[in-house]
Amino acid sequence: MNNTAKPAAIITGGSRGIGAATAIAFAENGYNVLINYQKNEAAAREVLEKCRLLGSDAHMFSADVSVFDEARALTDEAVSLFGAENISALVNNAGITRDTLMLRMSRESFDEVVNTNLGSTFNMCRTVSPIMFKNRGGSIINMSSAAALHGNAGQANYSASKAAVIGLTKSLAKELSGRGVTVNAVAPGFVETDMTAKLSDAVKEKAVEMISLGRFARPEEIASVVVFLASRDARYITGQVISVDGGLI
């Protein structure tokens, strides 16, 4: 089989958590994948191996996507691996938290979170959009958060960055709609990943009380929605924010 003719997906922050599950879900659904990571090469390699076992022509690429030139290098790598005409999905998933109350929040931690969560989304949309524009098709899925919609004490930097991702998503959806490119955001609630593993037991218990379904999501439960948004079945959905939060109140 000619793997290069398959659709290809770029997943930022694909080495762990939601991004790893998303890369695997794309591989399961017949995509070639480019797994981006920043530092954790071993974790990225594990995801790569799982994707290859599923028949995907999977590759990994280290880049700090909050830096424009590194994001461009990631996009260039995808083009040289798969061909521009096959770039079908971009998932802007890389993200960080630096939680603390506003009373103590440093300007540096604000900038770091905004640069990573929002800046990387801009960088990747800026470098991949022209390709999808030319292809007259493709899907961009940006990872937002329930924190963007509801706010969260200790997360002013994070909530602001994820709310801005929604604004970017809705504007870009309007810019690209004429070319058949869809742009949507997914807003997960609490998901079992390294990001939430650092929360205290008390915070986790309080969080579970607010979730109608009474538990955190598994990363695969977010990934399946991302893959759906990239599928033909979702071709009439654009500019939307899909909450996947177990009924968070």
* Closer by beta carbon to ligand NAP, 6 or else 125: 125
* Closer by beta carbon to ligand NAP, 132 or else 244: 244
DSSP secondary structure code for residue 65 in this structure: T
Here the tokens at position 60 are 């990994």
37 binds ligand NAP (CB under 6 A): yes
* Closer by beta carbon to ligand NAP, 176 or else 222: 222
23 binds ligand NAP (CB under 6 A): no
- 110 half-sphere exposure, CB direction, 13 A CA radius: 9
- Per 3-state DSSP, the chain is made up of helix, strand and coil in percentages (nearest 5) of 55, 15, 30
95: nearest Cα among 192, 161, 172, 153: 161
CB 43 within 8 A of CB 14: no
69 binds ligand NAP (CB under 6 A): no
Out of 9, 10, 15, 230, the only residue in the binding site for ligand NAP (CB under 6 A) is 15
To the nearest whole angstrom, how small is the minimum distance from the Cβ of residue 38 to ligand NAP? Answer: 4
| Contact map string, positions 155 to 184, toward ligand NAP, x by CB under 6 A | ------------------------------
Backbone angles phi, psi at 15, to 5 degrees: -85, -25
40 binds ligand NAP (CB under 6 A): yes
Buried/exposed 45-78: b ≥16 CB within 10 Å, e otherwise: eebbebbeebebbbbbbbbbbbeeebbbbbbebb
* Closer by beta carbon to ligand NAP, 28 or else 192: 192
Is 31 tagged catalytic? no
93 binds ligand NAP (CB under 6 A): yes
Burial class for 97, CB neighbours closer than 10 Å (0-12, 13-18, 19+): buried
99 binds ligand NAP (CB under 6 A): no
Out of 32, 145, 159, 169, the only residue in the binding site for ligand NAP (CB under 6 A) is 145
Alpha carbon 89 to its chain centroid, in Å, reads 11
* Closer by beta carbon to ligand NAP, 61 or else 82: 61
Three-class secondary structure assignment of 124-188: HHHHHHHHHHHHCCEEEEEECCHHHHHCCCCCHHHHHHHHHHHHHHHHHHHHHHHHCEEEEEEEE
Residues 185-214 that bind ligand NAP (CB under 6 A): 188, 190-191, 193-196
Residues 107-136 that bind ligand NAP (CB under 6 A): 116, 120
94 binds ligand NAP (CB under 6 A): yes
Which residues are designated catalytic?
158
* Binding residues for ligand NAP (CB under 6 A): 12-13, 15-19, 36-40, 43, 64-66, 93-96, 116, 120, 143, 145, 188, 190-191, 193-196
